[in-house]
Amino acid sequence: MQWFSVTALAVLGTVMVVHPDVTGRRSLAAEVVAGASTPVAQQAPEVKSTPTPTPSVHLTTPLRPAPTLTRQPKGAKPNVTASSGKLSVVPGVDKATGVRDKLTYRVEIEQGVSVNPAAVAAAIHKTLTDARGWQAVHPVSFERTDKADVDLRIIVATPTLTDKLCLPLDTGGEVSCRVEDRVVLNAKRWMYAVPAYGGDVALYRSYLVNHEVGHALGHGHSTCAKAKTPAPVMMQQTKGLGGCRPNAWPTIKAT
């Protein structure tokens, strides 16, 4: 919360978050990134008023769970649907590197979900600090903490709790969202990804993290511009790829 209200200007440098994530309209941040406009100086960001829908879609769940980052008795089905409604913060710190503006985040996982919390946190941090990620686009560096006061909460939750945390958006038990300071990743998608990713669950997880954090950084949606080229990370790839290829990284674009 604090980041949005107090330090958003510093974090984003010249990229102002004014009305992030309005469907059908390029966000100002996206325009600035594309060099299409000059940001309005010193305008207060209004991040919280415009939650990010990832529209409701109904997906068939792939048969095999991801082989990694799960924790369940041998042969048992991992739990991603039975909701305890309680979140646990993953303990520990992953320091930001460099001198850029620091964005702090915390990873929270719903109790009872069959994932290894430390491995989930490690995967998220690896994605956020990847050379192909947002740190190459924005003057920001990501630091994971377990403190109460953070800029962003990244939550892995059952479909039931995801739907609650995403309100007033409709995530339909299937998709993920970003609302205010919450990035809510649907545990079902974290575990099983989507068929279009052809079993590359790790890549889909990176997509999920980068897409929803991209909203928090002010980016709206984009679409597949040319078949067989990498899908934009801000495309709603969970709904389908529109002929594009799976892609998790904001720096990888169609040429």
Torsion over CA: 223, 196, 53, 216 (sign): negative
Cis peptide before 195 (omega within 30 of 0): no
Pick 54 or 145: Cβ nearer Zn ion: 54
> Cβ neighbours of residue 44 under 8 Å, at least 6 residues apart?
none
CB of 22 to Zn ion, least distance (A): 11
* Min CB(23)–Zn ion separation in Å: 9
247 binds Zn ion (CB under 5 A): no
CB closer to Zn ion, 54 vs 206: 54
Residues 6 or more apart from 81 whose CB is under 8 A from it? 158, 159, 160, 187, 188
- Scanning 34-42, 49-57, 95-103, 199-207 for contacts with Zn ion by CB under 5 A, the matching segment is 49-57
Shortest Å distance, C-beta 238 to Zn ion: 9
* CA dihedral over 85, 67, 183, 4, signed as positive or negative: positive
State the Cα–Cα distance between residues 214 and 6, nearest whole angstrom: 19
- Give one DSSP letter per residue of 169-186, joined into a string: S--TTT--EEETTEEEEE
> Which residue has the CB atom at the shortest distance from Zn ion?
54
Binders of Zn ion among 4-33, rule CB under 5 A?
none
Looking at the Cβ atoms of 90 and 204, the one nearer to Zn ion is: 204
In the complex, what is the shortest distance from the CB of residue 67 to Zn ion, in angstroms, rounded to a whole number? 27
User: Degrees (nearest 5) of the Cα angle 230, 175, 69?
Assistant: 80
Q: Does 50 bind Zn ion (CB under 5 A)?
A: no
Selected from 27, 50, 54, 206, the binder of Zn ion by CB under 5 A is 54
Shortest Cβ 212–Zn ion spacing (Å): 7
* Gap between the Cα atoms of 103 and 138, Å rounded: 11
Size of the site for Zn ion (CB under 5 A): 1
CB of 215 to Zn ion, least distance (A): 6
Q: Strand, coil or helix: what is 118? A: helix
Residues binding Zn ion (CB under 5 A): 54
